[in-house]
Amino acid sequence: MFGPPGAGKGTYASMLASRLRIAQISTGDIIREEIKRNTDLGKKIVDFVNKGELVPDDIVVEIVREETNKISGKNGFILDGYPRTIEQAKALDCIEKIDAIIQLGVPEQVIIARLSSRRICMKCGAVYNIRYLKPRKEGVCDACGRDLYQREDDRPEVVRERLKVYEAQTRPLISYYRDKAEFINIECNSVDIPPETIIRRILHELQEKDLIE
């Protein structure tokens, strides 16, 4: 799943994984968990994340390799947040074959509005949005009852830097994959479009391309 920071990749990937009964591999979630636990890996990558920079390719490639090995032989998976560079894509070619690319098109103003409204559970990592995915109780996770917080890299100045990085390093991947996989382009031009609407569009396109039943 491709799209700029704040496009909704994590939310849509989680919903699709549940609907299709496949695994979700979110490199961003894995990286943030390592930082939260203050592991050796987390200490290596925390400065990159806080500055809105990409984590070095060799680290992310190894994370993906380990995650795909865990689900080998199962129904498949959806990648959320990987690959982000041509080098990562080439490494992925040696690990697994990709069937489809879901490209999310979201304007910058929508991304900034969406990210500034995003809140994350401190314990279980559940994602909310105070505009359209509100928790039942303000500031509290529905699933585990712990407090919600705003990620450091969701601040507007960091978001703008992340968008610059995306344009420079990730968008070329679209050309790389153009002849390697089926493309599904989904436009989201409003911050208030419900996630369920986007999911229906994606599922329809997957069916049209005979990728799912």
Concerning whether 146 is annotated as a catalytic residue, the answer is: no
pLDDT for the residue numbered 73:
61
Q: Active-site residue 200, yes or no?
A: no
Predicted confidence (pLDDT) at residue 192 exceeds the cutoff of 70: yes
Give the pLDDT band of residue 140 (cuts 50, 70, 90).
very high
Catalytic residue among 32, 114, 119, 162: 162
Tokens of 135: 């928790």
Identify whether 37 is a catalytic site residue.
Answer: no
- What is the per-residue pLDDT across 155-169, written as a single tens digit (0 to 9) for each? 888 888 888 888 888
Instruction: For residue 186, give the amino acid letter.
Output: I
Q: Where are the domains of the chain?
A: 9-208
Specify the fold of 9-208. Answer: Rossmann fold (3.40.50)
Provide the whole-model pTM.
0.75
Look over the chain and give the mean of its residue pLDDT values, rounded to a whole number. Answer: 89
**Which one of 84, 114, 119, 201 is the catalytic residue?**
84
Q: Which long-range contacts (CB under 8 A, 24 or more apart) does 196-205 make?
A: 196/15, 198/8, 198/12, 199/12, 199/15, 199/16, 199/19, 202/12, 202/16, 202/102, 203/16, 203/19
Distance of CA 65 to the CA centre of its chain: 17
Stretch (H or E) spanning 121 = strand 118-121
Residue in 51, 151, 155, 160 annotated catalytic: 151
Catalytic residue among 114, 118, 119, 201: 118
pLDDT over 70, % of the chain: 99
- Respond yes or no: is residue 65 known to be catalytic: no
What does the pLDDT look like over 124-135, one tens digit per residue? 988 898 887 899
Catalytic residue (one of 9, 32, 119, 201): 9
Is 162 among the catalytic positions?
yes
